[in-house]
Structure 1
Amino acid sequence: MAMTPRQRRRLINRVGVWAGLLLGACFAGLPVLWMFVSSLKPNSRIFATPPRIIEEGSSLAAYVSIFQDPEKIRFFVNSYCVALSVSALTLVVGIMAAYAFSRFEFPGKRLLNVIVISVQAVPPITLLIPFFGLMVTLKLYNTYQGLILTYMVFTLPYAIIMLTGYFNTLPRELDEAAKVDGTSSLGALWRVLVPISVPGIVSVGIYTFMIAWNEYLFALTLTRTNDMRTVPIGIQLLMGQHSYEWNEMMAMSVLGSIPVMVLFIFFQRYFIGGMTAGSVKN
């Protein structure tokens, strides 16, 4: 049975969409695949020509070397401690600040809004030297607290902006109903608004975790000893003066990518829903 012109156009559009998606998937996925297969190759065969996916002598030796090295394990421990702490503190403070901006009128509210938005517009590299001096003065240099507080300067404004927009989409009648039942403002926030704001909170949490997990510049500047280095700095330390451990660098990159990939796989629905809902009303 011959297709009508409308069916033909629909088929062409569908084929074009799938072809575009396949091309985008290859563009995004092939570097990740090559990173993984390179982590399995012997270091001497990383740049062998012609390149092959499976090289003779491929093994998990690079991963075994990483897991047997306490110093490399410490890089991951540091990254998890810092990223999880930043995410938790940013969400707690961001939720309460966003609730205040969304539900209350107070002196200086507009000025504070401008300050929060302005912080987002400041390039982080311009604050590098002031932060270094501040952390040394406060004796927070080369500490978890120094990294956590520094990262929160960049994650908290985003969290406040996004969660304020999300809370603005929720009817005020929910707060009023909770207060009629004898609940305080904080009770209404944590018992009523937070449970129904999970998509927005999860999206902010994922973004915050990614920022803290992947950050390189401040992690390099505000830490001195290897026992305080994070994963991005640990990867750099595999670059020796005369030789590079390419397979271990690739293996650490794969292991460093896993937490973010897992977050997106399991919380993708909440992440997309939170990002779109938070931008509907400001």
Structure 2
Amino acid sequence: MGAERFVTRFAPSPTGHLHLGHALSAFHVWDTARRYGGKVLLRIEDIDLTRCKPEYEASILEDLNWLDLDWDGEVRRQSDHFAEYEGALESLRSRGLVYRCFKTRREIAAALPAGASPDTAGYTGKPLPPAEEQELIERGRAFAWRLSLTAAQDWLGSRYKALSYTTFSDTGTTEVAADPSPFGDVVLARKDTPTSYHLACCHDDALQGITHVIRGEDIREMTAIHALLQALMDWPQPLYRFHPLIMGPDDKKLSKRSGDRGLREWREHGKTPQDIRAMTGFSA
């Protein structure tokens, strides 16, 4: 597998300092690219203008350099490209594939079984009558642009049932059936936010010529959403590999929120890049 056929990316969000979980993912990305003679692009996924901070981006770059993980080409910052994502959304909107949803998360949660998440419980809706929708817009009501699963099924026809993505390993590839229905009508943008993770991620993978995506097991299921968007937008689909996560004492994914120290803090306590590799359990 030559370098011209292997382009991957590392795409952190600057909402905090990199921690051990990020380091493990980065090691998987760079190690795989190096073994295949490929390239690693660095993408800063900073569409959340409230939580993303320039100082965290600077910290990410510093930590990657400290870990001796260098990237190819210029860094892509998603916040510089909102107009591009709006263009992708307009393509879906012009085909009747998205609609304005004025329901709040609380309203959606109230209609779901107890404990169900509004993001993963398969919520589906439909456009409001034009007059009612216009009234809410004029009143300044917040809304989300949701991808209509029903409209997507109609648009793709038999292609919808055949949705899939392909995983890769050192021994070959495997085709995996993709079912986005458990996620329902996913949010692709909001009134004041021109894109979502799903739309921006798939757009950039296509634009940047990403051929291989190495991501954590926690994102495996939502890859079905990406397969759907790629089919609707006729975007090329990369191959995928999912790596294991670092689990905390509560058997949940280790994160800053769950007490994982930032790499900067470990460095200040005298740890070396080799120590960090050992602490993540990563083996080349």
Please, what TM-score do these two structures have when normalized by structure 1?
0.26
Please tell me whether Structure 1 or Structure 2 has the larger radius of gyration of its CA atoms: 1
Pick the structure with more helix per residue: 1
Please, what TM-score do these two structures have when normalized by structure 2?
0.25
